[in-house]
Chain A
Amino acid sequence: NAGVTQTPKFRILKIGQSMTLQCAQDMNHNYMYWYRQDPGMGLKLIYYSVGAGITDKGEVPNGYNVSRSTTEDFPLRLELAAPSQTSVYFCASSYSSLPRAPYEQYFGPGTRLTVT
């Protein structure tokens, strides 16, 4: 199992450009998440998904969009990049069998994004 994979590892964007961060998992997890980590801080949730076709906002969703067409993939789209989006982005996944809350989350290696 590769676990949770993310591409690219690093990216530099100019203000106003757009890009998509890719995330995939091969653990057959139904829940997937995007977090961002600013310097010296813990992670904050951007968006999450409880299954294919279902997504919802987290704590800091402004400036981002997501979609989930398959169980395995959960891309994060940045539109009109701004310096405030300079951060490290982590994708995660977990499994849940309702009504139980999800089990532990597993994280990808992260994408370091700089917007200048």
Chain B
Amino acid sequence: QKEVEQNSGPLSVPEGAIASLNCTYSDRGSQSFFWYRQYSGKSPELIMFIYSNGDKEDGRFTAQLNKASQYVSLLIRDSQPSDSATYLCAVKRRGSTLGRLYFGRGTQLTVWP
């Protein structure tokens, strides 16, 4: 079982819809959870991080964490074509140094006008 699993997609949603991206992780003691956005040919860019169970909202983005289910998700409301990118889920495991993250393969999102 991989450390971090994501549905590779592609996920395709119409403009204005809610895009839901999901991620599961294997280490129950994982502490920090990150969502990075990566446009084609570009570097990953951090868009959200979450540490505690529940929801965390930032603009059109909401991260949701359920540690009991070892599940983290990212919701993008009012999706825009500019949101089309690959979204990477990353996890910091218990005991690992800051910045040493375990990444999923990414979910490719396409928002069509």
Answer yes or no: are A and B bound together in one complex.
Answer: no
Name B residues whose Cβ lies closer than 8 Å to a Cβ of A.
Answer: none
Q: Name A's B-contacting residues (CB within 8 A).
A: none
